[in-house]
């Protein structure tokens, strides 16, 4: 293998334009190149760093591609059984009400096997944050249909496209939880462009800051790509996402700190 | 001394609480006790029963299939438990609850018109204490001073004003118990 | 000073967990154990000791709440009855894999399926052989009185933290529902954050600069590491088998025969002993208090004195497999079971002893 040598000139502090946050460990991310999970991890960790709450934050990782989030997020973190992260986080928050508690979950985890835990944590108004990475597919297990898979969209278990007659409709979990009195802030974001990332990061920050208000659960969906599961290259997948996912899952706030 | 008792009747007749007061009185008199209720849908609107054991020794089984005493407050319970009384044991019934008299001839049988008396007194809630009085007259296994303490312990504080009324009902029951068949 | 009360088994357990300094209870109603949560709610545990009592949306949520709380080094528990325990098995496997201390109560009812709400002992296999997936064991305590329902709350937490392992109190509908005298321990304080930091340094309570981030997980994608993790678990289970066997022997000094029974059936066997001895039959009882670790050696030692063992279980024959393994074929071992919610009568146990062991 060829040896790469970095030009020492470039390493000068004055040339520094971007740095990995200390809240990401040095472990190489296990995600496919181009996957949105890595960016989502980064902005969440940056917000925790900027808020200076590392020692007060407890995360809960799901089962899905981001099962190893605990390897990358340099915070105290628990890995929950498939779909159960909101229940795990509920107990943590109840037992440590003054800490910042969040879950990080995929669409299979949150909107299929964990539907009950999600809805009930939202409905109880647990004073925590749920990050929901919606890539419309089961990435981890090799691209099977998810509850969020679009009508007509192909997956390994809907090889001819999702037929809503026999396979049911895609589930808009975010709109659903917005109807519950226990949620205080519900928003849908994306991380496919720098400006989208900046907006998503503001949403992440708001969601964490909301925990200080003690007024309910903040729910942040991030519509993301799964280039591997969608069988596209990263660029194509982002384009496909903009063209197909965004019309069905429109980006923007759905519910913002309503007075209760 | 070991006394193994089944109390059986309709839910709402105060079967479980009669057992509890008896058991708690036993506790106060430093005896070993157990209280094992029937539970579940069996109880809804239907029959309720409770096994109470009071003993000077450690109690082996809290669940029994035969008893020294059966206190019977409705027909279903008579049908179910008449044959579970040990030979030479005791059966007490309230005639208002039954349509057929007990048939056993190898046990002692007493009746007590508790429902009628409770009606007369206009105090249906002390019905079960009248029955308890009848039993205690025949088998004074716990002293009245401990019954008092048992009442205190098993009734919530806001019901403590009713303790004298309950004690009076027990005394009334002692006078009402009537022999039907007494083995010599 | 201990306090004397007359309580139901379920209530005694609930009161005892408060007094043991529990931090959180998470449950879902099911007969015959709903009194546990009802009692805790009535006690306003949050006002009384700061303990959280939460009714979850399912047993699955409840056990995962236990996972979350236990991962924070807190004293947490859940309770259920058989069908609910089946739902909890996934979570229990994760808890065992992540080596989290917690307390579980199963007030067993008859199965399979929705079964009956009456008492049974047919969850022995599920409780002692793992229950969920993977090679793991719970410490299983089998109370046979209301007093033990209370005692095993405190003991359960103690063992759970000593071994970082879930502890299951395996009761049944009869013990849960009946009232007996119970002496209650004095209130223990709940853990302070300082104690958690010191005694459970692995707990996820917020990463501080002086240590690496704490991770609670049962996953390792590298098989070789997973094998090592399993070996470590197995070593722990062997240690538990060495140190934590508990049992009670009743009337065994001169016994020619023995009953082996736990929980409610052990109580009924005591009555059967009274009846049998009145007929001149010298029979005693060996009552396992820990079902895992199972009192194997004690049973094996007994084979030099007794001629036969009758296993009395409210099941179609589950514990008998452990009894037979322990006895190594030295003496006759027979099973006498009633099930589906039926409890043995003492006299039929004596008859079974005569027919299956003495006569057979
Ligand atoms: C009880 C259980 N059922 C199934 C699985 C297998 N499984 C692992 S991840 C996954 C789907 C994950 O999809 P998603 O939540 O959308 O996450 P993604 O990988 O897409 O980020 C499934 C079904 C499991 N681990 N546990
Ligand atoms: S499979 Fe999909 S979701 Fe998983 S890492 Fe790869 S691109 Fe991301
Ligand atoms: Mg997905």
Per-residue model confidence as pLDDT tens digits over B53-62: 999 999 999 9
The pLDDT value recorded for residue C250 is 97
Helix/strand/coil for B113: coil
- Mean pLDDT on C323-334: 98
With 70 as the cut, is the pLDDT of residue A146 above it?
A: yes
Q: How confident is the model at residue B88 (pLDDT cuts 50, 70, 90)?
A: very high
- Which chain A residues have a beta carbon less than 8 Å from that of C23? 95
Q: Are residues C252 and C330 in the same domain?
A: yes
Provide the domain limits for residue C122. 3-193
Digit-coded pLDDT (tens) for C288-324: 999 999 999 999 999 999 999 999 999 999 999 999 9
Give percent of chain A with pLDDT exceeding 90: 90
Q: How confident is the model at residue B43 (pLDDT cuts 50, 70, 90)?
A: very low
DSSP-derived letter for residue C294 is -
**Ligand 1 centroid vs A82 CA: distance in angstroms?**
6
Q: Are residues C165 and C304 in the same domain?
A: no
With 60 as the cut, is the pLDDT of residue A253 above it?
A: yes
Q: Which residues of C touch A (CB under 8 A)?
A: 23-24, 26, 52, 54, 56-58, 60-62, 64-69, 71-72, 74, 76, 90-91, 94, 98, 204-209, 213-219, 221
The pLDDT value recorded for residue B74 is 94
Digit-coded pLDDT (tens) for B62-86: 999 999 999 999 999 999 999 999 9
| Any domain includes C9 | yes
Provide the domain limits for residue A60. 30-256
Closest alpha carbon within chain A to C90: A81
Helix/strand/coil for C206: coil
| Any domain includes A170 | yes
Question: For testing the chain C interface, which of B59, B62, B155 should be mutated: the one with the most C CBs within 10 Å?
Answer: B62
Digit-coded pLDDT (tens) for C26-44: 999 999 999 999 999 999 9
Is A touching B (3+ C-beta pairs, cut-off 8 A)? no
The pLDDT value recorded for residue C64 is 98
The pLDDT value recorded for residue C215 is 98
Q: Phi/psi of residue C288, each to 5°?
A: -65, 130
- Mean pLDDT on C140-152: 98
**Ligand 2 centroid vs A187 CA: distance in angstroms?**
23
Q: Are residues C257 and C176 in the same domain?
A: no
Distances from the Cα of C110 to the Cα of B64, C121, C177, C337, angstroms:
19, 7, 15, 13
| A77–C57 C-beta distance less than 8 A | no
| Any domain includes C218 | no
Choosing from C176, C193, C210, the residue where a domain stops is: C193
- Which chain C residues have a beta carbon less than 8 Å from that of A89? 68
Q: Whose CA is nearest to atom 8 of ligand 2?
A: A35
Distances from the Cα of A142 to the Cα of A163, A228, A229, C255, angstroms:
20, 8, 6, 64
Compare CB distances from A77 to C60, C204, C219 and report the shortest one's residue.
Answer: C204
Residues paired with residue B54 on neighbouring β-strands, in sequence order: B3, B33
Distances from the Cα of B168 to the Cα of B114, B122, B135, B162, angstroms:
13, 14, 15, 10
| Any domain includes A2 | no
Give the CATH number, domain containing residue B95.
3.40.920.10
Closest alpha carbon within chain B to C285: B60
Q: Are residues C26 and C103 in the same domain?
A: yes
Q: Which subunits have 3 or more CB–CB pairs within 8 Å of chain B?
A: C
How many structural domains compose chain C? 2
Compare CB distances from A91 to C26, C206, C215 and report the shortest one's residue.
Answer: C26
Nearest-angstrom CA–CA distance, A189 and C60: 30
Residue C117 contacts B, CB cutoff 8 Å: yes
DSSP-derived letter for residue C355 is I
- C35 close to C7: Cβ distance less than 8 angstroms: no
Question: Which of A60, A62, A141 to probe ligand 1 with, by most ligand atoms within 8 A of CB?
Answer: A141
Q: Which subunits have 3 or more CB–CB pairs within 8 Å of chain A?
A: C
Nearest-angstrom CA–CA distance, C351 and C357: 10
With 80 as the cut, is the pLDDT of residue B41 above it?
A: no
Provide the domain limits for residue B162. 2-181
**CB A43 less than 6 A from any atom of ligand 1:** no
Helix/strand/coil for C308: strand
| Any domain includes C157 | yes
Residue B124 contacts C, CB cutoff 8 Å: no
Q: Are residues C93 and C183 in the same domain?
A: yes
Residue A208 contacts C, CB cutoff 8 Å: no
| Any domain includes A191 | yes
Helix/strand/coil for B123: coil
Q: For ligand 2, which residues put their CB under 6 angstroms from it?
A: A 31-32, 35, 37, 65, 135, 139, 226-229
Distances from the Cα of C339 to the Cα of B64, C69, C300, angstroms:
16, 36, 27
With 50 as the cut, is the pLDDT of residue A1 above it?
A: no
Q: Return the axis-axis angle of helices B144-154 and B15-28, rounded to nearest 10°.
A: 120
The pLDDT value recorded for residue A3 is 62
With 80 as the cut, is the pLDDT of residue A259 above it?
A: no
Closest alpha carbon within chain A to C57: A120
What is the b/e burial string over A72-105, where b = at least 16 CB atoms within 10 angstroms of the residue's CB? Answer: bbbbbbbbbbbbbbbbbbbbbbbbbeebbbbbbb
Compare CB distances from C174 to B24, B36, B60 and report the shortest one's residue.
Answer: B36
| Any domain includes A20 | no
Ligand 2 atom nearest A30 alpha carbon:
5
Residue C266 contacts B, CB cutoff 8 Å: no
The pLDDT value recorded for residue A201 is 98
Digit-coded pLDDT (tens) for B13-27: 899 999 999 999 999
Digit-coded pLDDT (tens) for C217-275: 999 999 999 999 999 999 999 999 999 999 999 999 999 999 999 999 999 999 999 99
How many structural domains compose chain B? 1
Give the CATH number, domain containing residue A222.
3.40.50.970
| C215–A77 C-beta distance less than 8 A | yes
Q: Mind telling me how many Å the CA of C175 is from chain B's nearest CA?
A: 9
- B67 close to B81: Cβ distance less than 8 angstroms: yes
Nearest-angstrom CA–CA distance, C313 and C260: 9
- Mean pLDDT on A66-92: 97
Ligand 2 atom nearest A237 alpha carbon:
7
Distances from the Cα of A175 to the Cα of A187, A241, A247, B108, C56, angstroms:
9, 19, 14, 73, 23
Q: Are residues C37 and C108 in the same domain?
A: yes
Question: For testing the chain C interface, which of A52, A76, A180 should be mutated: the one with the most C CBs within 10 Å?
Answer: A76
Residue C32 contacts B, CB cutoff 8 Å: yes
- Mean pLDDT on A206-227: 97
Question: For testing the chain C interface, which of B2, B63, B84 should be mutated: the one with the most C CBs within 10 Å?
Answer: B63
Nearest-angstrom CA–CA distance, A233 and A222: 20
Give the CATH number, domain containing residue C174.
3.40.50.970
Residues 6+ apart with CB under 8 A from C53: C24, C25, C37, C40, C41, C45, C46
Digit-coded pLDDT (tens) for B108-136: 999 999 999 999 999 888 999 999 999 99
| C67–A84 C-beta distance less than 8 A | yes
B61: left (phi over 0), alpha (psi -120 to 50) or beta: beta
- C14 close to C8: Cβ distance less than 8 angstroms: no
With 90 as the cut, is the pLDDT of residue B12 above it?
A: no
Q: Are residues C269 and C189 in the same domain?
A: no
| C213–A56 C-beta distance less than 8 A | no
Taking residue A164's Cβ as centre, other Cβ atoms within 10 Å add up to 12
| B37–C267 C-beta distance less than 8 A | no
| C58–A116 C-beta distance less than 8 A | yes
Q: How confident is the model at residue A184 (pLDDT cuts 50, 70, 90)?
A: very high
**CB A64 less than 6 A from any atom of ligand 1:** yes
| C4–B60 C-beta distance less than 8 A | no
**Ligand 2 centroid vs C219 CA: distance in angstroms?**
19
| C76–A76 C-beta distance less than 8 A | no
With 80 as the cut, is the pLDDT of residue B9 above it?
A: yes
Residues 6+ apart with CB under 8 A from C130: C93, C136, C137
Element (H, E) at C358: none
| Any domain includes C231 | no
What is the b/e burial string over A122-159, where b = at least 16 CB atoms within 10 angstroms of the residue's CB? Answer: bbbbbbbbbbbbbbbbbbbeebbbbbbbbeebbbebbe
Compare CB distances from C181 to B20, B33, B39 and report the shortest one's residue.
Answer: B33
Question: Which of residues 17 through 46 in chain B touch C, CB cutoff 8 A?
Answer: 20, 23-24, 27, 32-37, 39-41
Element (H, E) at C303: none
**CB A82 less than 6 A from any atom of ligand 1:** yes
Size (chain A), residues? 260
Quote the distance between the C-alpha of residue A209 and its chain's center. 17
- C314 close to C142: Cβ distance less than 8 angstroms: no
Please state the pTM of the whole predicted model. Answer: 0.92
């Amino acid at each position: 293998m060829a040896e790469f040598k970095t030009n020492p000139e470039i390493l000068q502090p004055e040339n520094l334009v971007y740095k990995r946050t200390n809240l990401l460990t040095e472990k190489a991310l296990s995600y496919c190149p181009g996957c949105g999970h890595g960016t989502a991890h980064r902005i969440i960790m940056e917000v925790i760093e900027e808020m200076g709450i590392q020692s007060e934050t407890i995360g809960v990782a799901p089962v899905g591609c981001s099962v190893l989030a605990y390897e990358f997020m340099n915070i105290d973190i628990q890995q929950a059984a498939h779909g159960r992260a909101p229940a795990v986080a509920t107990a943590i928050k109840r037992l440590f009400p003054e800490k910042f508690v969040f879950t990080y979950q995929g669409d299979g985890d949150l909107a299929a096997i964990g539907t009950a835990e999600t809805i009930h944590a939202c409905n109880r108004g647990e004073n925590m944050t749920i990050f929901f990475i919606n890539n419309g597919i089961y990435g981890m297990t090799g691209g099977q249909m998810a509850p969020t898979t679009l009508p007509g969209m192909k997956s390994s278990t809907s090889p001819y496209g999702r037929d809503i007659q026999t396979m049911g409709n895609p589930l808009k979990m975010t709109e659903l939880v917005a109807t519950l009195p226990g949620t205080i802030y519900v928003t849908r974001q994306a991380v496919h462009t720098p400006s989208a990332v900046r907006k998503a990061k503001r949403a992440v920050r708001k969601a964490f800051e909301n925990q200080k208000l003690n007024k309910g659960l903040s729910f942040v969906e991030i519509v993301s790509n799964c280039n591997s599961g969608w069988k596209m290259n990263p660029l194509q997948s982002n384009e496909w996402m903009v063209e197909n996912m965004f019309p069905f899952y429109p980006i923007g706030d759905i519910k913002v700190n309503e007075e209760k | 001394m070991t006394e193994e008792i089944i109390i059986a009747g309709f839910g709402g007749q105060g079967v479980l609480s009669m057992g509890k007061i008896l058991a708690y009185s036993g506790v106060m008199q430093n005896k070993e006790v157990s209280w094992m209720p029937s539970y579940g849908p069996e109880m809804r609107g239907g029959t309720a029963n409770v096994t109470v054991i009071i003993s000077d020794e450690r109690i082996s089984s809290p669940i029994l299939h035969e008893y020294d005493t059966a206190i019977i407050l409705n027909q279903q319970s008579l049908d179910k438990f008449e044959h579970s009384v040990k030979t030479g044991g005791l059966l007490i019934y309230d005639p208002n609850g039954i349509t057929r008299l007990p048939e056993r001839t190898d046990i002692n049988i007493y009746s007590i018109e508790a429902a009628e008396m409770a009606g007369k007194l206009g105090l249906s809630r002390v019905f079960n204490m009248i029955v308890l009085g009848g039993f205690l007259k025949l088998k004074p296994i716990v002293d009245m001073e401990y019954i008092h303490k048992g009442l205190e312990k098993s009734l919530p504080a806001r019901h403590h004003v009713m303790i004298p009324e309950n004690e009076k009902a027990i005394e009334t029951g002692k006078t009402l118990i009537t022999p039907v068949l007494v083995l010599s | 000073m201990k306090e004397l009360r007359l309580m139901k088994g379920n209530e005694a357990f609930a009161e005892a967990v408060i007094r043991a300094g529990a931090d959180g209870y998470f449950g879902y109603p099911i007969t015959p154990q709903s009194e546990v949560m009802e009692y805790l709610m009535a006690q306003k545990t949050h006002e009384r000791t700061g303990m959280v009592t939460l009714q979850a949306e399912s047993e699955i949520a409840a056990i995962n709440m236990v996972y979350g709380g236990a991962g924070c080094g807190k004293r947490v528990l859940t309770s259920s009855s058989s069908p609910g325990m089946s739902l909890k098995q996934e979570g229990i496997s994760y808890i065992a894999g992540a080596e989290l201390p917690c307390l579980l109560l199963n007030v067993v009812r008859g199965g399979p399926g929705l079964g009956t709400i009456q008492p049974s002992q047919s969850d022995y296999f599920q409780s002692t052989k793992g229950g969920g997936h993977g090679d793991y064991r719970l410490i299983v305590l089998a109370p046979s009185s209301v007093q033990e329902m209370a005692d095993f709350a405190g003991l359960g937490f103690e063992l759970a933290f000593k071994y970082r392992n879930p502890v299951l109190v395996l009761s049944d509908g009869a013990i849960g529902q009946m009232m007996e005298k119970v002496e209650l321990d004095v209130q223990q304080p709940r853990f302070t954050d300082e104690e958690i930091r010191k005694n459970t340094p692995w707990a996820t309570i917020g990463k501080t600069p002086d240590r690496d981030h704490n991770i609670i997980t049962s996953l390792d994608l590298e098989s070789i590491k997973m094998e090592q993790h399993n070996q470590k678990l197995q070593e722990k289970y062997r240690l538990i088998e060495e140190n934590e066997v508990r049992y009670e022997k009743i009337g065994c000094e001169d016994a020619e025969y023995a009953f082996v029974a736990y929980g409610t059936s052990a109580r009924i066997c005591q009555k059967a002993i009274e009846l049998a001895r009145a007929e001149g039959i010298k029979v005693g009882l060996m009552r396992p208090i820990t079902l895992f670790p199972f009192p194997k050696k004690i049973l094996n030692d007994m084979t030099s004195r007794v001629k036969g063992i009758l296993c009395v279980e409210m099941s179609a024959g589950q514990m008998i497999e452990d009894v037979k393994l322990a006895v190594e074929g030295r003496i006759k071992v027979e099973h006498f079971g009633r099930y589906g919610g039926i409890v043995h009568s003492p006299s039929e146990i004596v008859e079974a002893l005569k027919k299956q062991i003495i006569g057979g």
